[in-house]
Chains A and B, each alone.
Chain A
Amino acid sequence: MKEDKNTKTLNYRDQVHHFGRIWTVIALFLFLMVPVAICVHAGVWPKAGDLLKGLLSVAPIFWTVGAIEVITYVPMLGTGGSYLGFVTGNLTNLKVPSALNAMQNMGVESDSEEGEVVSTIAIAVSAIVTTVVIAVGVLLLAQIRPFLESEMMQPAFDNLLPALFGGLAVVFVSKNWKIAMAPMIFMIALFVCVPSLAGSVGVLVPVGALIAIAVARVLYKKNLL
């Protein structure tokens, strides 16, 4: 029975890898076709030198962050969640918290097949709702723009990430406070001392993870977890 379930799990994950890659390759092709279509429509192509200069100013940092995000988030999001999450974007501010919260509510582990399924469901729902909200927002722009861009509402949107991670931290830190203390103290000290690093927070995620895992390893070896 156990063997049967394991085989099924393997088959399911393999299937997800298979169709996940197909969907992603088609998506990538479509994404690349967008600027191609704009160029054909406008009858203009970018000059190689300008394109290279523009890319050099963003690619080194964003490709590095992209690689780091893949290493960090793939284990958290599972197979289906990763393929979908990396195509639909907005991982840190939306997809990853959605998946973590859904798995927490369902009481499933991220590396289990149940976790894999719940993470995929959360990311899919989140992607669909985001698209609908943006579409409705653009359609009703004349009506909602004064409210959204009002001075009164500015602090609410400026503080989205603190409001998000404050709640999320209570859930995860309270479960593992022994592991959480060292990376939290390190990160707070780091950002207080070097505020300019705020723009590179994505690069520092694996640093936090390495500290947390190192501390966890020591505590685990000493039977303190």
Chain B
Amino acid sequence: MFNSNSGFMYGLTAAVIAFVIAQSVYFLYRALKRAKELGMDMGKIKKTMVSTAVFTIAPAVSILLGVIALSKSLGFPFPWLRLSVLGALTYETSAAASAASVMGASLSNAITDPQVFVTIAWVMTLGIIVSPVLVCLFGKKIEGGINKIKDRDSKWGDIFMDGLFLGMISAFLGVVFADVSTGLAGWIPVFVMIASAIIMLICGALKMVLKAKWIEDYALPISLLGGMALSIPITDFVNTLV
């Protein structure tokens, strides 16, 4: 019988997470050092670091929920590890579910068969390992391609980058409408998105009226948390109508 919450599993998880934290601290140190060399405003950078930390909390709690959800079948350490490195919530759950079903198991029960557990662990690991490999192999080439575009025409280079951002944002705005055909309840994500957008607009207006730069720094965390908070009464209201 495999104990997915054993000290061994916690030790393994702690070792890998410690490595990733060390990598993050090293990259942070190098970037801060470079920022100083470039003469960037370090006070502004500190404020940006704080606002990034605040912004991260809500998505991190949502990742924690993913760890909790997967812990019912795989214990705490392994989902904790998978969602702290490489993985993403959407990927890890479906990879684990697919691997479990191949073995005739289900994620609704604790996985205690070592054969099933190791198969799930390998599938989850190998299924997502390709991105960092590709960054190592092609990251420099992709960057070179962007630099070439910029060297030829710097204005077009900037517009090209804006196009990339907007391509990503438009795809994720579009997916918010995926359930609208199911009825009024399917519009809830759309209403939440609009609420978040309105909060962002209010932040922009307040920044101008009060001439308070800090509002801009915290506008995204405010609109994110505001949107999430408003989703509760929005959902309640919609549910009373359907």
Contact = CB atoms under 8 A, between A and B. Distances in A.
Interface string B92-125: 0011001101110000000000110111111101
B181 A167 contact: no
13 contacts: A43-B114, A44-B114, A66-B128, A90-B63, A98-B56, A114-B38, A131-B24, A133-B60, A161-B172, A167-B223, A184-B166, A195-B179, A220-B155
A212 B40 CA distance: 32
Q: Classify chain A's interface size.
A: 35 or more
A118 B88 CA distance: 23
Interface string A189-221: 011100101100100111111111101110010
A1 interface: no
A131 B13 CA distance: 12
Contacts of A45: 118
Contacts of B208: none
Given A30-B19, A163-B223, A216-B159, A84 B27 contact: yes
Contact of A75 (B32, B136, B146, B180): B146
Given A38-B117, A133-B56, A191-B178, 12 more contacts: A57-B101, A97-B220, A110-B161, A121-B48, A121-B52, A122-B52, A125-B28, A126-B56, A131-B24, A162-B231, A165-B176, A183-B170
B166 A163 contact: no
A162 B20 CA distance: 29
B168 A58 contact: no
Contacts of A106: 40, 44-45, 48
B192 interface: yes
A155 B234 contact: yes
Interface in A161-180: 161-173, 175-176, 179-180
A180 B171 CA distance: 11
B169 A168 contact: yes
B126 interface: yes
Residue with the greatest number of chain A CB neighbours at <10 A, chosen from B38, B95, B163: B163
Interface string B44-55: 110111011101
A42 B88 CA distance: 26
B56 A129 contact: yes
Tell which of B40, B89, B118, B225 has the most Cβ of chain A within 10 Å.
Answer: B118
A204 B168 CA distance: 8
B81 interface: yes
Given A17-B139, A70-B138, A126-B52, A84 B24 contact: yes
B165 to A, nearest CB: 6
Contact of B12 (A38, A122, A172): A38
B134 A148 contact: no
A121 to B, nearest CB: 5
Nearest to B123: A54
Given A111-B150, A225-B159, A166 B227 contact: yes
Interface string B149-188: 0100001111111111111111111111111111000001
B201 A114 contact: no
A216 B159 CA distance: 7
A24 B19 CA distance: 11
